[in-house]
Every structure is written in structure tokens, then in C-alpha cells.
Structure 1
Amino acid sequence: MTQGPNAPTLDHRGIEALIPHQGRMCLLDGLLSWDAERIECRALSHLDADNPLRSASGLLATAAIEYAAQAMALHGSLLAQADGGAASPGFLASARGVQLHRLRLDDLDGPLQVQALRQAGDARQILYAFTVSDATGAPVAEGRAAVVLDTPLAAPVAP
């Protein structure tokens, strides 16, 4: 299940095959490393003029939360795949303690580094800490995110 530093990585197409985000909405360009507790990805899509999260004001730093959420989704998929199954679909339920260290992402040179660290979780929800950094390693955004998994409800018991 654990991927070491010499393990194969994934490119954009490989990531897109494992998360629900498709086309331009798949923001991650590469998987750098992962293990049972953490994942690190690279992204260049913040530099794209047609980034789907870009507004008239540019790509605001709040978009870093979506970059982190996609890394979390990829982490869940990789863990499920390593266990021989498929990941449960999930959604970002909350982002807490978020600190934005700049206003925009589109004025950064070089790739973004996206890291997520699983802090707790069970079959219904997962708590991650995340950091998005610029090419120099300076943090752009950091915080915590709760992911709620779309697990089937138990069938009602007949009387």
C-alpha cells in the first residue's frame, strides 16, 4: 500500500482516471509521492488563462482549497485501489483554520506543491490537514478539511 520515493508517479491523465474531476477541472498535473497518511502532488493549472476557477480578478488564493481537495480525493482513490477496492465518493464538508498567505495564485511562477496529511477518519468521514506551497516552498494556503464519504445507509430493519 505504501509508495516509496522510487515508486511510479501519475501524470494528469492518470490522476484524472482516479478522481471525479475531468478535463480542465482536474487541476493536478502530477502525483509526486504518497503513503497511507499523506500525499504530495504538483499543479501547473494555476497558470492557465482558462482555469475553470479563474474569475475576472484572476485565480484567487481560495482556489487552493480545491487543489487540496483534489489531492485528498486522489489519496482516497489510491488507498482504496491498494486495498483492492474502489473509493467511496465523497464531498468537502468544511474547511477550517484556513490561512491564505497571498491574494492570488495565477501570479506565481512555477508549480504549486499540494500536500495533504490524513489526521483522522473512518468509513464515513476523514479529516485532513493541507498545505499548498509555491515553487520556493513558501506556503500559499494551509488549513484543515473534513471530507464526508457517500457511504450507503443501512437498510431499514423490517418489524
Structure 2
Amino acid sequence: MSAAALDHAWIAARIPHQGSMCLLDAVASWDAERIRCIAKSHRAADNPLRSGGRLGALTGIEYAAQAVAVHGALLADADSAPAPGFLGSARGVACQVGRLDDIAADLVVDAERLSGDDRTLLYAFTLSAGDCRLLSGRVSVVLGAAPTESP
């Protein structure tokens, strides 16, 4: 599959996030264990994760979660959809910046699968821009279940 084919339209067709909530613009590289995505949406005034006109650094966890979802789509059989899942937790998160919307460069979202089975996945992630690390941590994803609604 060519890198040009792994653009925003390809991503949006394979993850549940649609419209402006699909935050990733391209897959730069990937293999069985890791993925690198590029995002420009942190600079968009209509980014749905903005609050009070700002995009806080912790919203980078959603960028990482979407990269994990794209990785699942890439690893899935061509004839089947990836297993639905939801973010179970974020651990060891370290922010080197307070916000993302004032970062001029594109975001680079790296995610590496640390472990996983049929029910859960664990990924380490890093968001960076140029040579600057912005956010890092780990996310767990629970597969095959929908989050429960609170009353």
C-alpha cells in the first residue's frame, strides 16, 4: 500500500471518528508493532477538542488513541473491520507543554504496541513536533466492548 493512499480520507473510512473529530492527516509509516501518524488539526480553530479557545496538551491522548485505532485497521484482515474498542486508561502521561494549538509544526504521533490479546491492548505513545517532545505515556484499549453510559 503506498504512503499516499494512507491519507486523511483513508483514515476516516476506517475509524469511527468522523468530520473534524478525525484528527489525523496521514500515516507516515507503520509495521506490525508501531505506527507514525501526522496531524495538522491541532492548529484548526474548529478542532472539537478545544476548550476556551485553547487545545490543552492532554488532548494529545486522543491523537494517540486514534493512531492506535488506525494501527488496528492496518493490521486487520482486508475483508474484516478491526475490533471496536474504547480507551481504558492513560498512564504515565508526561506533558512537556501546556497546550498544542500554539505549536506551529505538524504533530508527529508515534505509538508502539507493548502487549495485547483478544481483549486488551497496551501502547506507548509520544507526540512531538520537530525535535521537541510534547507528550508521552501509555494507553490501554479494551476491545470488543462499548463503554457503559453513566446514569
Distance 1:52 1:7 in 2: 27
1:85 Cα deviation from its structure 2 partner: 2.4
1:96-151 Cα deviation digits (max 9, x unpaired): 000011000000012000010000000100000000001x1311100000000016
Instruction: Answer whether contact 2:3 2:28 (CA < 8 A) is retained.
Output: no
Instruction: Answer whether contact 1:80 1:86 (CA < 8 A) is retained.
Output: yes
Larger Rg: 1
For 1:147, the equivalent position in structure 2 comes to 141
For 1:78, the equivalent position in structure 2 comes to 74
Distance 2:128 2:30 in 1: 17
Distance 1:59 1:69 in 2: 16
Instruction: Answer whether contact 1:9 1:32 (CA < 8 A) is retained.
Output: no
Instruction: Answer whether contact 2:24 2:40 (CA < 8 A) is retained.
Output: yes
Q: How is 1:6-155 mapped onto 2 (pairs within 5 angstroms)? A: 7-82=3-78, 84-134=79-129, 136-150=130-144
Instruction: Answer whether contact 2:3 2:27 (CA < 8 A) is retained.
Output: no
Consecutive unaligned residues of structure 1, counting only runs of 5 or more, are 152-159
TM-score of the superposed pair, with normalisation by structure 1 = 0.87
TM-score of the superposed pair, with normalisation by structure 2 = 0.91
Q: 1:9 to 1:138 in 2, by over 3 A?
A: farther
* Residue identity opposite 2:42 in structure 1: H
Distance 1:117 1:140 in 2: 17
Number of residue-to-residue matches in the alignment: 146
- The 3-state SS of whatever aligns with 1:81 is coil
Distance 2:100 2:88 in 1: 23
- The 3-state SS of whatever aligns with 1:36 is coil
* Residue identity opposite 1:74 in structure 2: V
Instruction: Answer whether contact 2:128 2:134 (CA < 8 A) is retained.
Output: yes
Instruction: Answer whether contact 2:37 2:108 (CA < 8 A) is retained.
Output: yes
Distance 1:131 1:91 in 2: 19
- The 3-state SS of whatever aligns with 1:65 is helix
1:88 Cα deviation from its structure 2 partner: 0.6
